[in-house]
Amino acid sequence: MTTTMPTRIMPRRTRIGLVAGGLGAYWPQFPDLLPQLRRSAEQVSARLGGLDCEVVDVGFISDERDGAAAAQRLRAADCDLIVGFLTTYMTASMLAPVAQRTGAPVLLINLQPSEAMDHATFDTGAWLAYCGACPLPEMANAFRRCGVEFRSVSGYLGDERAWARIGRWIRAAGVRAALRHGRHGLLGHLYPGMMDVSSDPTLVTAQFGGHVEILEIDDVRVRVEKVSDGETAERVALARSMFTLDESVVEEDLEWAARVSVALDRLVEDFTLDSLAYYHRGLDGETHERVGAGLILGASLLTARGVPACGEYELRTSLAMLIMDRLGAGGSFTEFQALNFRDNVVEMGHDGPAHLAISARKPLLRGLDVLHGKRGWGVSVEFDVAHGPVTAFGLGQARDGRYTMVAAEGTVVPGPLLAIGNTTSRVDFGCDPGEWTDAWSASGVAHHWTLGTGHRVAELTAVADLLGLELTVVAP
């Protein structure tokens, strides 16, 4: 896709705490060991800094007192993930305070200097630089008994497989942080009768952290009224540059959508929102109905900029979209549209807002006289998600109120699409579409979810671990 996206709204950077260590009893015995281990720790710190995160490096610890001091510094830094680098053997008492007091999840890494020792030339001191694996079972046992979740990555300093796994944990920590620090707008009211969509904002704060800001359609209306003609014209020009305009687009409707889009940007800025879910029914063409029907363009632009927005008051799906966006997968508002048993694909998408950054082509704006199932009229977005590997991802909810995660990996393939102002993607899940649909529906996911690029189950597994949620992978 060649369309230039509007400037992304940059989220808070993920903050990683780093503590490296080894058993201090070794230092007087093997004088060359500590300098070597410190050099390894410097390499790890530099490599972490290249993973699009802020690194809080508290240095090297040699005993349990150093560990306690490191824990206090890391606690004050409010880290999203603590990385404990086991450079050689160290006792569990050195990292237990870090795991218990920082309030952040801990990832232990065991990265020896190279792929293997040179057995013919190594003495005891040289060997000790390779025995970071030695304390891992001890740490796991101690963490379990202390009520701390255990996770680790083992490899060597130049091992790209290990660094890929470490990067996965850092991205998962970024997702956890986005939810913990997030401000999520809930605008309007529930679509009547959608029992699955109903969400308790308190449960969002209780299980994910963050804040749900309750908004009214008037919060948009008053901002629409303050948008100037010049600002509207600029937004129309942006829309014309980003979209192919179908001949069905009425100029007056495009200008209205552009005006509402500017107001929506101001709403997000004024309330410092990280995501938005909305719905308003309205009546007989009055102002509130027009505002609600005019949100699609602005919501799509915001989603492309990193503030996921979706319709039908679907708070859980806007959160799922935020998770996928922070993993770099985009994430577009999605539901079932039809099953195609001839081509063996599930056709899915939605009317309304879409994630423009993951479109397979230049997105199209289509004018609609009727927004099916909703009041009003106006412009809507039409495209399919970029062809290739994708992941369907949604948040379900159990009877006790606990959120769950549901995911499935598939492939978007080319083929005929509806031309009705909806996003539509043809997804091949590698099995009978009917069997997949039954398995997906039985997972506890609601009737909306998000579709993002890439196969993301490995990353979502890490996210589920850090959030303490159950992940169901649908693969019949």
Reported as a single tens digit per residue, the pLDDT across 283-327 is 888 999 999 999 999 999 999 999 999 999 999 999 999 999 999
308 and 275 in contact (C-beta within 8 Å)? Answer: yes
The first and second tokens of residue 204, run together, are: 């969002």
Gap between the Cα atoms of 153 and 162, Å rounded: 6
Structure confidence at residue 6 (pLDDT): 77
pTM score: 0.95
CATH of domain 14-179: 3.40.50.10940
The first and second tokens of residue 203, run together, are: 């449960």
Gap between the Cα atoms of 313 and 325, Å rounded: 19
**113 pLDDT more than 80:** yes
Structure confidence at residue 429 (pLDDT): 98
Total H helices, total E strands in the chain: 16, 19
Gap between the Cα atoms of 72 and 98, Å rounded: 8
Structure confidence at residue 1 (pLDDT): 41
In this prediction, residue 2 has a pLDDT band, given cuts at 50, 70 and 90, of very low
Write out the H or E segment, with its range, that includes residue 168. Answer: helix 160-180
Gap between the Cα atoms of 300 and 425, Å rounded: 17
Helix axes 251-271, 295-304, angle to 10 degrees: 50
Question: What 8-state DSSP symbol labels residue 174?
Answer: H
466 and 105 in contact (C-beta within 8 Å)? Answer: yes
Q: pLDDT tens-digit profile of 150-193?
A: 999 999 999 999 999 999 999 999 999 999 999 999 999 999 99
Gap between the Cα atoms of 311 and 332, Å rounded: 11
**Beta-sheet strand order (sheet of 378-382):** 244-245, 364-368, 378-382
Compute φ and ψ for 278, nearest 5 degrees. Answer: -145, 155
Structural domain spans, the chain: 14-179, 182-473
**3 pLDDT more than 60:** no
Q: pLDDT tens-digit profile of 198-248?
A: 889 999 999 999 999 999 999 999 999 999 999 999 999 999 999 999 999
Q: Is 28 exposed, middle or buried (0-12, 13-18, 19+ CB in 10 A)?
A: exposed
DSSP-derived pairing of the beta strands 378-382 and 388-397: unpaired
Q: pLDDT tens-digit profile of 455-473?
A: 999 999 999 999 999 999 9
Closest of 20, 15, 91 to residue 56, by C-alpha? 15
DSSP-derived pairing of the beta strands 309-310 and 106-112: unpaired
Structure confidence at residue 4 (pLDDT): 65
Q: Does domain 182-473 have CATH number 3.20.14?
A: yes
302 and 357 in contact (C-beta within 8 Å)? Answer: no
Q: Give me the chain's average pLDDT, please.
A: 95
Fold match between 14-179 and 182-473?
no
Q: For the chain, what percent of residues have pLDDT higher than 90?
A: 90
